[in-house]
């Protein structure tokens, strides 16, 4: 038996590398990510803006692309090695969900494009550009890639993505089988199957989750998440959001699932953005036993004062509002509240 | 013109000194305040238990008295001097709301009993017993009256009381005219008058508030509040509350009014208890201009994602649930939720 | 006996209203207060810049005045009423330390100038300009005078001042007798007298402190302090300080005296600035018993791992470095460290 | 090329599973871990006590063994699979540092014992006992293995170990070559070689570090570390430590290396224990570029106000005090300070 058979393909995907968000209001989306979340614009090309958080190693983690409707442009995974990339491309091709190679983009080299079974657009690549801070943005900390900004309440790095799906199990299985993700927590549906799954390729509880798209067609974005590392900064950025009329959906709160501390807001383009205050808990156990939540559990928790473990309750919109994955032409299922 | 004419009587009341709570379940109320909030039982007399928080100077700030129903036993104010006590007793007598003197109780000397216009029971006194920690409870900090406990998430001191009233203005005027409180913030009712008033005798925004008792007869307790001083401890104690099935009504959150960070729970006897994480803001301006909130403001805030500035929205029960001031025979207007 | 005899003059001074700092580098001092501490410049006159923190009610709390050397321009107290102002001016005149009236300055009306027995320049006034935020700086919170800035880690309000004195007792007595301050905590010197005193006119432990000027001539500034209200923001602003080469002297820490959480830095002009994370503890007891610390206590605490209750130990410079009160020609006793 | 060749053996070790500490004062060490850190005693055998933190999945992470001197009993790693265990045992045997198998202990099955080149005792195993909480210790959170305790300020899980070595490079190379650890950060010695190395098998910056044993013989324990996940709890537990005369060496602070927030104390047996408030930063990049610190960097940082990024400076004892790895007869190089 080879080493590979021990672990299978579970380490071929190293990390969530970047996200492309579609926005009908590029300037205001830029204001949100740059002035409130303290991100840096590092490039502009073909109308898209590329941003980075100050604690990220690569050039960029966010591409903002003007579009008629908000939604997910694509989510990009970095493979662990050139060989790992090859293996994953073969596995994806075998599913029939592969779309083929692109030459690359600002910040990375050749990438293989594919979708989940519900059409969420993704890519995987190996070659990446590490960030080199210009003189005035160099940090005094050797292990910090960029000086901490003095603008807004600056986020540190991209954390995860959460997608709406009609068939949660099918999407989760795809990520596990074609890409090597592991199941960490799930909500079992009363009628069988899953209402939500949380999957990771690292000790984090998830780099990706799928939740049941109750009111929509699936294939959509629920939210992307940036990380602070310090729960208190959710209050600081929340105060900025309130002063600047950014719609807060929930939080600061403490999740039951993942145990992490979130704040959910809508960026001006209409996409939901989560901010994570801490890491919740980390999973180091190689034979992890996925955590099972039932719908009864969720309902009882709601009756007992809300689904989050602490800090209020999910409003109805949380379960139905998402933004369309534009490439596959899904219509928006709900309207983002405005203040 | 004498000095008194400058300030009138605004400094005769020094502080909220203690609260008597009525509880139909003394043992479980004791468990809540002692094991979860880290308070110390310092005496037991005539069936009542007396407790203290570790950062309080006097012997006790909480008397728990068994009773058929929950509610306020009384709230007690300490005068600034013997002469100040005299003046306030004269002023109260002039209102016809005075009940006369009692000899004292555990922790304090002679006290004059009275009620607000709606019958909320109160007393005012001068002589008080300062706490002397026994050897094993002595702190290493000369300015800390008692060693910080290692039990639960220990509160530091009594902060304020909030009362339900049918006629908020009348109750507020009584506190201002007979006792020297100053108006700090208020909610103006659409129909005229006040829906809520926040009053203090110190730079704190309030030691006492009155809110409109929409569903009840007035004269009742809305909540008492203990203080942490560190907002993060609301998350810690909130976690303990969830694990131990103590009903959390709201929070951790950040108030608009007072700007303080609260967590609201129901102690097992049924009384609402607020925990304050910070001080909000302090008022040092001698010619303070009371802050006006309108019902439109409250409603708009609710539409925009909740009335607290951050951290969820007040559930319906917040506006209607209170506990009866037993001495005046008010019936309970709602049932405390249980988990 | 009149009401005045009850309280004497203890309430004639309402608050520390503003500070004038002298700086040999106005532009960099401005950068520090505006870009790192998030303060707003509201006026410029005769070469001086006037700033405010976003949670302050009056127009300005800080005047930065170019000067050859750093130090205290003056500290200004607001009286509680016109009559209180009169009384204090009479009392100060009787000490022989009064300098007479000035017409006023940006943000306030006529002020009476005086010094402490060691020449620390001060003034007291009544008429003040309340701040009215222009449209784009208006907060959505009725009780917040100005929108929370998105620049640096914004402080909320001026908190206190700490002065170096050769004769701590004499300076403290002056503040108590002429201005009505109350003694809250003190360090008793082994040789008799005081090594430090903490005095207030409110429940805060101090608006002013005097500490023994071991290496200097007295009459100097030790530090001014701005308030956050949230301890965690000390870490955020500390990170900005480190990235931007602002010298941190101590903290984030937790004081024994006052129990508050401080961070000490040197603004680029050379003056020490303290940032307070919380309020420590508040004093509501009218017959407060001043807290006594001995030099033995201080030394033992130092041996046990530092004088602050938590968070490191005071470096030697803390006890000797101060900035001269320029008007009285005191030479600087030490050189501000630079990074 | 097989998958194994991609990753080599870098994933054979899954995690730091438990630590055995030697203590000359078992009862007081137990008091420290149980009453202050809120850990649970789950077994007692042959005079040793076994404890667990409430957020740990396996039965136990700490074995306290009575001994004449403090020090490391052993550190135990869990392999990722039975096959991974086999591979690592073969690799260790090839180094000549293997000691052979033991049958197991409370909480785990057969384990292979070995030492580092300097004799730090270790073991590696696969079979482990997952914790099942008894009824009264069951959490309401499905993903929390045990109810959060209401005792002390409870730690959540074992985080890492730090060892003193005379030859840091040799020890680090052994962990990398025989066990698959990856180099994350290091301090380059002026004379060549390393003064410290931080190594991990996960996105955490380290599960193990070696630092140069300047004053001792090497082969010793510098500290073990437990994790909170919330930086603020360092202040809470630090307050308990001060009240209970537990010696605090440094913190709460923020490290430069790892960027995590630590508090260092000495448990009553004399071993240094670190408490981590957050995770610092996480490493997901598969081609991580180890962070290089120089001695010049360390010295400059010290001159600039301390080596930690924030929160004081390492006292001299930090660099010289460690506890002997008793099995190899190393004498204690310094005396633990006592309060």
Give ipTM to 2 decimals: 0.93
What whole-number distance in Å separates Cα of residue D309 and Cα of residue D331?
33
Name the one residue in this structure whose structure tokens are 């009850």: C6
Look at C235 and D231 and tell me if their CB atoms are within 8 Å.
yes
Look at B150 and D235 and tell me if their CB atoms are within 8 Å.
no
What whole-number distance in Å separates Cα of residue C13 and Cα of residue C291?
22
Phi, psi of B209 (to 5 degrees): -135, 150
Q: What is the pLDDT of residues B148-195, one digit of tens each?
A: 999 999 999 999 999 999 999 999 999 999 999 999 999 999 888 899
CA distances from C212 to A179, B254, C292, C312 (A): 68, 41, 16, 21
CA-wise closest residue to A250 among C273, A261, C203, A13: A261
Residues C57 and C101 sit within 8 Å (Cβ to Cβ): no
Whether omega before B252 lies within 30 degrees of 0, making that bond cis, reads yes
CA-wise closest residue to A215 among A296, A324, A130: A324
pLDDT score at A259: 96
The 3-class secondary structure across A180-211, one letter per residue, is CCEEEEEEECCCCCEEEEEEECCCCCCCEEEE
What integer best gives the mean pLDDT of chain A? 92
- A99 vs C: CB within 8 A: no
Chain C neighbours among D 171-200 (CB < 8 Å)?
Answer: none
What whole-number distance in Å separates Cα of residue D297 and Cα of residue B284?
47
**DSSP letters for D80-149:** SSHHHHHHHHHHHHHHT-EEEEE--BTTB--EEEEE-TT--EEEEES-BPBP---GGG--SSTT-SSPPP
D230, D246, D252, D305: best to mutate for the C interface, most C CBs within 10 A? D305
What whole-number distance in Å separates Cα of residue C78 and Cα of residue C13?
6
Look at B242 and A310 and tell me if their CB atoms are within 8 Å.
yes
pLDDT score at A303: 64
Q: Which residues of D touch C277 (CB under 8 A)?
A: none
CA distances from A50 to A45, A128, A147, A227 (A): 8, 14, 18, 18
Q: For each of chain C's 339 residues, which pLDDT tens digit applies?
A: 344 456 767 899 999 999 999 999 999 999 999 999 999 999 999 999 999 999 999 999 999 999 999 999 999 999 999 999 999 999 999 999 999 999 999 999 999 999 999 999 999 999 999 999 999 999 999 999 999 999 999 999 999 999 999 999 999 999 999 999 999 999 999 888 899 999 999 999 999 999 999 888 999 999 999 999 999 999 999 999 999 999 999 999 999 999 999 999 999 999 999 999 999 999 999 999 999 999 888 777 766 655 789 998 888 889 899 998 433 333 333 333 444
What whole-number distance in Å separates Cα of residue C30 and Cα of residue C7?
41
Q: How many CB atoms lie within 10 A of CB B136?
A: 6
Say if A142 falls within a structural domain: no
- C35 vs A: CB within 8 A: yes
Q: How many residues does chain B have?
A: 339
Which pair of structure tokens corresponds to residue B276?
Answer: 């304050």
Longest dimension (CA), chain C: 60
Torsion of CA D149, D150, D152, D153, to 10 degrees: 70
Q: Find how far residue D239's CA is from the centre of its chain.
A: 23
Say if A66 falls within a structural domain: yes
- B307 vs A: CB within 8 A: no
CA-wise closest residue to A148 among A271, A30, A44, A233: A233
What whole-number distance in Å separates Cα of residue D168 and Cα of residue D196?
6
pLDDT score at D3: 43
Residues C220 and C71 sit within 8 Å (Cβ to Cβ): yes
In sequence order, which ranges of B26-127 are alpha helices (DSSP H)? 26-31, 82-95
Burial class (CB in 10 A: 0-12, 13-18, 19+), C338: exposed
Look at D232 and C235 and tell me if their CB atoms are within 8 Å.
no
Return the ∠ at Cα C124 (arms to C63 and C25), rounded to 5°: 15
Residues B201 and B124 sit within 8 Å (Cβ to Cβ): no
CA-wise closest residue to D273 among D247, D292, D308: D247
pLDDT score at D5: 52
Q: Which residues of chain B have pLDDT under 50?
A: 1-4, 325-339
Q: How many CB atoms lie within 10 A of CB B34?
A: 18
What whole-number distance in Å separates Cα of residue D263 and Cα of residue D255?
10
CA-wise closest residue to C156 among C37, C14, C20, C282: C37
Look at D2 and A3 and tell me if their CB atoms are within 8 Å.
yes
- B133 vs D: CB within 8 A: no
CA-wise closest residue to A310 among C181, D38, B275, C137: B275
**Per the structure, how many domains does chain D have?**
1
pLDDT score at C271: 97
Q: Which residues of A touch B339 (CB under 8 A)?
A: 304-305
CA-wise closest residue to A272 among A187, A196, A164: A164
Say if C26 falls within a structural domain: yes
Q: Which residues of chain A have pLDDT under 50?
A: 1-4, 325-339
Name the one residue in this structure whose structure tokens are 């002589």: B127
Q: What is the pLDDT of residues D138-171, one digit of tens each?
A: 999 999 999 999 999 999 999 999 999 999 999 9
Say if A94 falls within a structural domain: yes
Domain range for A204:
11-130+153-320
Residues C242 and A140 sit within 8 Å (Cβ to Cβ): yes
CATH of the domain at B28: 3.10.180.10
Please, which chains are in contact with C (at least 3 CB pairs closer than 8 A)? Answer: A, B, D
Q: What is the pLDDT of residues D259-313, one digit of tens each?
A: 999 999 999 999 999 999 999 999 999 999 999 999 888 777 766 655 789 998 8
Q: What is the pTM of this model?
A: 0.94
Helix (H) or strand (E) holding C233: helix C233-243
Say if D1 falls within a structural domain: no
pLDDT score at A2: 43
Q: What is the pLDDT of residues D55-72, one digit of tens each?
A: 999 999 999 999 999 999
Phi, psi of B88 (to 5 degrees): -70, -35
Say if C296 falls within a structural domain: yes
Say if A136 falls within a structural domain: no
**DSSP letters for C90-150:** HHHHHHT-EEEEE--BTTB--EEEEE-TT--EEEEES-BPBP---GGG--SSTT-SSPPPS
Say if A92 falls within a structural domain: yes
Which pair of structure tokens corresponds to residue A103?
Answer: 């030459």
pLDDT score at C324: 82
């Amino acid at each position: 038996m080879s080493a590979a058979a021990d672990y299978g393909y579970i380490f071929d995907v190293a990390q969530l590398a970047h996200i492309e968000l579609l926005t009908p209001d590029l300037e205001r989306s830029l204001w949100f990510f740059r002035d409130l979340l303290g991100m840096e614009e590092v490039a502009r090309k073909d109308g898209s803006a590329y941003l980075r958080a100050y604690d990220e190693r690569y050039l960029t983690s966010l591409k903002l692309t003007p579009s008629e409707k908000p939604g997910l442009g694509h989510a990009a995974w970095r493979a662990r090695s050139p060989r790992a990339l090859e293996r994953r491309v073969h596995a994806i091709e075998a599913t029939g969900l592969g779309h083929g190679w692109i030459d690359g983009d600002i910040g990375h080299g050749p990438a293989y494009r594919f979708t989940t079974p519900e059409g969420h657009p993704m890519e995987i690549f190996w070659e990446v550009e590490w960030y080199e801070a210009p003189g005035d943005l160099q940090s005094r900390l050797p292990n910090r890639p960029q000086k901490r900004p003095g603008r807004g309440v600056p986020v540190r790095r991209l954390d995860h993505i959460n997608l709406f799906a009609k068939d949660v199990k099918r999407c989760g299985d795809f990520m596990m089988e074609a890409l090597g993700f592991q199941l960490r927590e799930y909500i079992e549906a009363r009628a069988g199957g899953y209402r939500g799954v949380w999957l990771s390729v690292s000790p984090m509880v998830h780099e990706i989750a799928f939740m049941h798209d109750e009111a929509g067609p699936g294939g959509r974005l629920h939210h992307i998440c940036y990380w602070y590392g310090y729960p208190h900064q959710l209050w600081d950025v929340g105060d900025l959001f309130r002063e600047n009329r950014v719609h807060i959906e929930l939080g600061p709160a403490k999740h039951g699932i993942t145990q992490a501390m979130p704040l959910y807001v809508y960026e001006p383009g209409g996409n939901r953005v989560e901010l994570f205050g801490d890491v919740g808990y980390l999973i180091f156990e190689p034979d992890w036993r996925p955590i099972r939540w039932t719908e009864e559990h969720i309902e009882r928790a709601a009756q007992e004062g809300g689904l989050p473990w602490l800090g209020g309750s999910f409003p109805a919109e949380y379960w139905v509002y998402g933004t369309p994955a534009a490439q596959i032409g899904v219509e928006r299922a709900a309207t983002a509240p405005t203040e």
